[in-house]
Amino acid sequence: EEILRLEGVRKSYNVGRPNETEVLHGIDLTLERGEFVALIGPSGSGKSTLLNIIGLLDRPTAGNLLIHGVETSRMSDAELTRLRGRTIGFVFQYHLLISAFTALENVMIPLVADRTFPSREIEARARALLGEVGLAAFANSLATNLSGGQQQRVAVARSLAMKPDLVLADEPTGNLDTKSADDVFALLRRENREHGTSFLLVTHNMHLASQCDRTIQVVDGRIAP
Ligand code: ADP
Ligand code: ADP
């Protein structure tokens, strides 16, 4: 089952200005349900740009992006936001937790923001997710008091709150020590195995990339053959 397809996707920045530059030069890519894929490539090659487009945070300048076979180019920003909330989870290198919130409150954010998720089930679901990432005992700890690895596990729990089909993870282990990085990676792998969630993982860690199902390499705005 196809989750995502890119057809000839191009992206330029500063369109119409003297400094207009194309940074993605025609990307073709498909992702199936349950795939666990590493996205690698040198700094500046276009990985973050590609991730922003796949995550419906930015639009291609040309080409098609289909989610579950449906073209997205004519969708309004509001439609894209709704589709993103239902389909895609995000984990970033700097976890972007709200430090004055507890672990539990951080995981509750997407469930509260969705507005359609039954409010009386929000806390129970957030607690279950914290349990899945091994942090049930830290539900009431302020995010700021958790270790880097624990904070990233809270971010993983939060990314899974809406049961996304696809999680985009931009160097999720980039600022963790080896042990914490392996733990977070194992968590993503387990989620992939148990729920069939697809992952696209930007990483410079070749040890982790080699444990993915497939590696996509971006070089100068193109996918290397
Ligand atoms: P990577 O994630 O692989 O490091 P990026 O997608 O961040 O690559 O960047 C690809 C190219 O696009 C780089 O040359 C970068 O300078 C340029 N770029 C990224 N974001 C912008 C932006 N908002 N405006 C202009 N150029 C950008
Ligand atoms: P049920 O299958 O009984 O309807 P759920 O679908 O909520 O219940 O899943 C049962 C457990 O698995 C819950 O703890 C839930 O948090 C977790 N879970 C289900 N789907 C996902 C998912 N895609 N990602 C993360 N956790 C999930």
Q: Write the ipTM.
A: 0.71
Cβ count near 9 (within 10 Å):
23
C-alpha 168/C-alpha 86 separation (Å) is: 13
The protein residue with its alpha carbon nearest to ligand 1, atom 10, reads 46
Each residue of 124-163: pLDDT tens digit? 999 999 999 999 999 999 999 999 999 999 999 999 999 9
Backbone angles phi, psi at 5, to 5 degrees: -140, 130
Which residue in 190, 148, 147, 185 sits closest to 169, CA to CA?
185
Per-position b or e across 130-140, b if 16+ CB within 10 A of its CB: bebbebeebbe
Q: 98 near 143, Cβ under 8 Å?
A: yes
The protein residue with its alpha carbon nearest to ligand 1, atom 13, reads 44
pLDDT of residue 116: 85
C-alpha 194/C-alpha 189 separation (Å) is: 9
Longest dimension (CA), the chain: 55
pLDDT of residue 95: 66
Q: 97 near 143, Cβ under 8 Å?
A: yes
C-alpha 115/C-alpha 136 separation (Å) is: 25
Backbone angles phi, psi at 27, to 5 degrees: -100, 125
C-alpha 41/C-alpha 217 separation (Å) is: 5
Dig out the tokens for 20 from the structure: 């207009």
Q: Counting atoms of ligand 2 from 1, which one is nearest the CA of 128?
A: 14
**Which mutation among 22, 23, 50, 51 tests ligand 1's pocket best, with the greatest number of atoms within 8 A of CB?**
23
C-alpha 141/C-alpha 159 separation (Å) is: 19
Q: Counting atoms of ligand 1 from 1, which one is nearest the CA of 202?
A: 2
Q: Which ligand is nearest to the CA of 22?
A: 1
What's the pTM?
0.88
3-state secondary structure of 24: strand
Is the CB of 110 within 6 Å of ligand 1? no
Q: How far is the CA of 224 from the centre of ligand 2 (A)?
A: 36
In the predicted model, residues of the chain with pLDDT beneath 50 are none
